[in-house]
Amino acid sequence: MKHFSMIFLAGSVLILTSSMAVNAQSGGGYELSRSTIGGGGVSSGGQYIVMGTVGQVGAGVMAGGSYELLGGFWPGEPLCTVEFHHYARFAEYWLDSGCNAGNNWCNGADLDQLGDVDGVDLGLFVSEWLYWCPYDWPLK
Reported residue count of the chain is 140
The C-alpha angle with vertex 31 and arms to 22 and 48, in degrees rounded to 5, equals: 110
Residue type present at position 101: A
Q: Where are the domains of the chain?
A: 2-71, 84-128
Cα-trace Rg, the chain: 21
Residue 103 pLDDT grade (very low, low, confident, very high; cuts 50, 70, 90): very high
Share of the chain above pLDDT 70, in %: 51
Contact 78, 132 (CB under 8 A): no
- Give me the residues paired with residue 72 across strands: none
Separation between Cα atoms, residue 110 and residue 118, nearest integer Å: 8
Residue type present at position 57: V
**How many helices and strands (H and E) does the chain possess?**
4, 4
User: Using one digit for the tens of pLDDT, what is the confidence trace for 29-81?
Assistant: 666 555 555 556 666 777 776 665 555 555 666 677 777 766 655 554 455 78
Identify the DSSP state of 102. Answer: G
pTM, two decimal places: 0.47
